[in-house]
Amino acid sequence: MTMPFQIAWRYLWGHKSHNAINIVSGVSAAAVAVVTAAMICVMSVMNGFGTVIESMFSQLDPDLRITAVQGNRFSTDNDTFVSLRALPCVQVMAETIEETALIEYNDQQLPATIKGVDTNYQQLTNIDSILIEGRFLLQRPSSFYAIMGVGLSNRLNISAQQTPCLQLYAPKRNARVNLMHPEDSFNRNGCSVAGVFAVDQVQYDDHIILVPLPLAQRLFDFAEHEVTSVELKINGSVRTAQKQIKKLLGDDYNVLNQYEQQEDFFHILRIEKWLTWLLLVFILLIASFNIIGSLTMLILDKQKDIQILHHLGADEPLIRRIFLLEGWLISSVGAVSGLLLGVIACLLQEHLGLIKLGDGAQYVLSAYPVHVEITDLIVVIIIVLGLGFAAAWYPARHISVNTPTE
């Protein structure tokens, strides 16, 4: 260790002539430790919620989704999509149609998002793992079937075991409304409910109905091979495949990964995370003022030592470096203590679920989820030590060897 660091270390743990300095130094380190632990815990909880929601979305969201840049429908009957299907990175390719329609059952009517899928959809997603009732069945030679979200099932009081028949209504494409017979302005198709799924996300459970692609084509007046999106399951790296497919399709198509498919939600989640960061950093900034006060009191207490060091040959930059290291050590002790405290608290929450969300019947999770990321720990330590260094620099730069002793 260098001489300035040795002296600073001695000042940190050594006895001061005024006990108040020890108290203020302890309070400074404790304040930094508490805020550091709070930053780690809050960030880990935000990461935990993101991980949980991401896993829920991934049950129905494909690895990649292709949509048109302009308009909401396009044709896959061309050489480009033939080449796409032949790419080694494409494991499963499924055509889909997604539009809004009116559903009717037992004189109850509700709007819903009808998603027409082809026979590859079961291999594309993990739909079987989220079925809570019935089975995955979309089509037989003489009949169509639907798989609906649990929210819609509850609102319509439908059970897959009853094989109820739904009526689906959608406006005819490019047709004028017949005021005398408005029902003639709508396409109408029926299907039975074969299964019910639950993702524990409102946008899926309360709105989505999966139907066979031919039924969706009839209902929404789509031509053969005309779709609203193409969904892909990828072999290997999704990022690499995304770049390759974008290059193949050109600028007329969007190629979206799972995060981009839920861009609005994850954007809000990121904003909440960084706003929380800013709030905690502001609290840390306030806590850093304790370091300024503690170091200022220590400088006043060690005026005789400063004069002795100066007479022994220490210049002002060296003496300032000693007290700068002293203040930085106070923040370092708080940072390391807070880091250990935060990580231990997160591990206890992860394995024991100490802090509950509430009644398990009302929430998807019984306890707050946590996920500690190394990058968050590194960023927290850098911020804490950076603010601690800035707080120590302010009083240390005013040290002068010409200050008279008592």
Calculate mean pLDDT across residues 199-209: 85
Confidence of residue 233 (pLDDT cuts 50, 70, 90): very high
Q: What angle, 0 to 180 degrees and rounded to 10, lies between the N-to-C axes of helices 3-13 and 316-352? A: 60
Helix residue ranges per DSSP H, 86-237: 121-124, 150-156, 202-205, 213-220
Confidence of residue 331 (pLDDT cuts 50, 70, 90): confident
At 346-388, the pLDDT tens digits run 999 988 888 887 655 555 677 888 888 898 899 888 888 888 8
Which amino acid, 60?
L
Whole-angstrom Cα distance, residue 321 to residue 303? 15
pLDDT exceeds cutoff 60 at 15: no
226, two tokens: 């005309």
At 31-58, the pLDDT tens digits run 888 888 988 998 898 888 878 777 666 6
Could you state, in order of their start, the residue ranges of all structural domains in the chain?
Answer: 3-57+265-396, 64-259
pLDDT exceeds cutoff 50 at 290: yes
Confidence of residue 345 (pLDDT cuts 50, 70, 90): very high
Quick one: pLDDT at residue 405? 41
Calculate mean pLDDT across residues 138-164: 85
Hunting for tokens 């591990």 — which residue is that? 347
Q: 270: Cβ–Cβ under 8 A, 6 or more apart, which residues?
A: none
At 84-119, the pLDDT tens digits run 989 999 999 999 999 999 999 888 889 999 999 988
Q: Which of 10-24, 175-189, 341-355, 380-394 has the lowest mean pLDDT?
A: 10-24
Quick one: pLDDT at residue 406? 41
For residue 189, which of 206, 212, 208, 205 has the smallest C-alpha distance? 212
Helix residue ranges per DSSP H, 87-209: 121-124, 150-156, 202-205
Q: Which of 86-95, 272-281, 312-321 has the lowest mean pLDDT?
A: 312-321
CA distances in angstroms from 193 to 145, 166, 167, 256, listed in the order given: 6, 7, 11, 30
Quick one: pLDDT at residue 111? 92
Quick one: pLDDT at residue 66? 94
CA distances in angstroms from 259 to 129, 214, 270, 333, 389, listed in the order given: 21, 29, 12, 38, 38
Strands (E), 294-340: none
Mean pLDDT of the chain: 82
Confidence of residue 404 (pLDDT cuts 50, 70, 90): very low
Contacts of the segment 256-264: beta carbons below 8 A, 24+ positions apart = 256/64, 256/65, 256/66, 256/67, 257/63, 257/64, 258/54, 258/57, 258/58, 258/61, 258/62, 258/63, 261/57, 261/61, 261/65, 262/57, 262/61
Q: How many CB atoms lie within 10 A of CB 311?
A: 9
Strands (E), 106-176: 108-117, 131-134, 139-140, 143-149, 165-171
